Amino acid sequence: MKQIKARNLHRDLGYFYIGLIISFAFSGILMNHRDSWHPDKYVVETKAIFVKLPAEENINEKYAEELGKTLGIDDKMRRHNVKKGTFKISFEKHDVEIDMKTGKGEIVSFIKTPIISSMMKLHKNTSNWWIYYGDIFGISLIVIAITGTLMIPAGKFTFKRRGWKLALAGLIVPLLILLFV
């Protein structure tokens, strides 16, 4: 009876969350490689610019917003900074980078990638209701994992005889990464 309840719970939670599991897995793979390419957006135009910049101490949020308007960018500004001699401004649909010494730079215009950017947003979303839903999802994944260990009633492929070794091996990899990376 215990195996039947575990199997039913495992199956039903798996069915309920299959879309979210696939979406998180797919967008997680994309996010792992976001330093190499931007899966959630793609460039539609790159435009060279020249700007006479003030001294770094005079660059603030107001200056960045006004410069964006001067450059013809009507997006909402997200952030700005000066690092390693480059002034960067990030807007919702544009990125601006300008060399502090030469004033040479570029405006990169981009569009969000349909479907992929929405899936990636799930990983980044911090609204209260989504956090609670994510907690329930996490607990459900734990239940799916535990019920999976109870589903095979007898034989050489049970968790007790074989599964614990694979589970231990699967746990060792992230522990080694945490310790050495």
For the stretch 31-81, pLDDT in tens is 777 777 777 787 889 999 999 999 888 999 999 999 999 999 998 999 999
User: Locate tokens 């502090």: which residue?
Assistant: 100
DSSP 8-state class, residue 57: G
- Asked if 63 and 100 sit in the same domain, the reply is yes
In terms of domains, do 74 and 88 share one? yes
- Where among 88, 112, 136 does a domain terminate? 112
My answer on whether 105 and 68 are in the same domain is yes
Residues 101 and 126 in one domain: no
Q: Do 48 and 88 share a domain, yes or no? A: yes
Task: Give the confidence band of 1 by pLDDT, cuts at 50, 70, 90.
Answer: low
> What is the number of alpha carbons within 13 Å of residue 149 lying toward its C-beta?
15
Shared domain for 46 and 84, answered yes or no, is yes
Which range among 1-5, 19-23, 151-155 has the greatest average pLDDT? 19-23
pLDDT, mean of residues 98-114? 92
- Check pLDDT > 80 for residue 173: yes
Domain that holds residue 18: 1-37+120-150
Total domain count, the chain: 3
Give the up-direction half-sphere exposure of residue 29: CA atoms within 13 A in the CB hemisphere. Answer: 6
List the structure tokens of 79. 């952030």
Are 115 and 26 in contact by the 8 Å Cβ rule? The answer is: no
Handedness of CA 86, 90, 95, 96 (dihedral sign): negative
